Amino acid sequence: MNRKVAVIGAGNVGASAALYVAERGLADVTLVDIVEGMPQGKALDLTQTTPLWHQGGRIEGANDLAAVRGADLVIMTAGFPRKPGMSRSDLLKANADIVRPAAEAVRQHAPNAYVVVVTNPLDVMAWLFWKVSGFPKNRVLGMAGILDAARMRAFIGMELGVSPADVDAMVLGGHGDSMVPLPRYTTVGGIPVAELLPAERIAAINERTRNGGAEIVKLLKTGSAYYAPAMCSVDMAEAILTDTKRLVPCSVHLDGQYGMKDLFIGVPIVLGGRGVERIVELKLSAEETAALQKSGKDVADMIAELSVGVS
Domain extent listing, the chain: 4-142, 145-306
In sign, the C-alpha dihedral spanning 152, 156, 157, 159 is positive
Read off the pLDDT band of 309 (50, 70, 90): low
Q: Are the C-beta atoms of 27 and 52 separated by less than 8 Å?
A: no
Taking all residues of the chain, what is their mean pLDDT, rounded to a whole number? 94
Helix, strand, or coil (residue 192): strand
Q: Are the C-beta atoms of 76 and 126 separated by less than 8 Å?
A: no
Residue 176 main-chain phi, psi, to 5 deg: -170, -165
Q: What is the pLDDT of residue 131?
A: 97
Read off the pLDDT band of 223 (50, 70, 90): confident
What does the pLDDT average to over 40-52?
94
Q: CATH assignment of 4-142, given 3.40.50.300, 3.40.50.10320, 3.40.50.720, 3.40.930.10? A: 3.40.50.720
Q: What is the pLDDT of residue 294?
A: 97
54 is catalytic: no
Q: Which residue has the higher pLDDT, 214 or 88?
A: 214
What does the pLDDT average to over 223-237?
96
Q: Are the C-beta atoms of 247 and 268 separated by less than 8 Å?
A: yes
Whole-structure pTM value:
0.95
Q: Quick one: CA torsion of 308, 86, 265, 296, rounded to 10 degrees?
A: -80
pLDDT at residue 311 tops 60: no
- The one-character DSSP state at 65 is G
Q: Are the C-beta atoms of 170 and 149 separated by less than 8 Å?
A: yes
Q: What is the pLDDT of residue 117?
A: 98
Percent of the chain exceeding pLDDT 70 equals 95
Q: Which of 54, 109, 175, 253 is catalytic?
A: 175
Contacts of 165 (CB under 8 A, 6+ apart): 157
Q: Do domains 4-142 and 145-306 have the same CATH topology?
A: no
H helix or E strand, kind and range, residue 31: strand 28-32
Alpha helices in the chain (DSSP H): 12-24, 38-47, 50-53, 92-109, 122-133, 145-160, 199-210, 212-220, 227-241, 286-306
Q: What is the pLDDT of residue 91?
A: 79
Q: Quick one: CA torsion of 270, 126, 61, 110, rounded to 10 degrees?
A: 70
CA pair distance 119, 42, nearest whole angstrom: 20
Q: CATH assignment of 145-306, given 3.90.1150.170, 3.30.360.10, 3.90.110.10, 3.90.1300.10? A: 3.90.110.10
CA pair distance 228, 219, nearest whole angstrom: 15
Read off the pLDDT band of 307 (50, 70, 90): confident
